[in-house]
Amino acid sequence: MKYENYMNLEFPSKSANEAFARAAVASFAAQLDPNLDELGDIKTAVSEAVTNCIVHAYPDEIGTIVLKARILPGNVLDIVIKDKGCGIEDIAKAREPMFSTGGEERSGMGFTIMESFMHEVKVNSQRGKGTTVHMRRRIVRRGDKS
C-alpha cells in the first residue's frame, strides 16, 4: 500500500522506552492534525502494545521492540509494533478482557484498550518467534463530517 510518510524505530524493551514510543508516535501523528482525544487514544494504544512487549514478550530479559508508523491515503495512521520474544500461545484467549499472563498486578485489558481506541487491530504471533500488533486509526480532518 502506498504511504505518504513513514518512520521506523528500534529500541530495547526497557520500561522507560514506553513513554518514548508514545511521544514518538504522537509527534509523528501530529502532521495529521488530530484532536486531543484522537491523540490521547493513539498514545494509549501504543503504550499498551509496547507495555505488552516489555512485560510479556521479554519477561526475563531485555529484547528489541520495533515500531513502525506510516501515514496512508485517507488520513490513516498505520502502526506496527513487533517483538521477537516468546510469542503468544493463544491469541484469542489473550485478546479476552481480564486475561493476563503477567501476574495479579496486570489488568489483562491491553488488547481490549487497543481495540477500543483504534479502528483496526490485528495480532499475529508465533511461539518462540515473537508477536506483531498492527493498528490503524483514521484521523478525521477538521470540518469533515465522516
Specify whether 8 is catalytic. Answer: no
Please state, in angstroms and as integers, the Cα–Cα distance from residue 64 to each residue in 58, 118, 138, following that order.
9, 24, 28
The one catalytic residue among 38, 48, 70, 137: 48
The one catalytic residue among 17, 18, 52, 70: 52
Q: Which three cell numbers mark 90?
A: 493463544
Paired residues of 66 in beta bridges: 10, 82
Specify whether 52 is catalytic. Answer: yes
The one catalytic residue among 22, 75, 95, 106: 106
Specify whether 138 is catalytic. Answer: no
Catalytic positions: 48, 52, 106
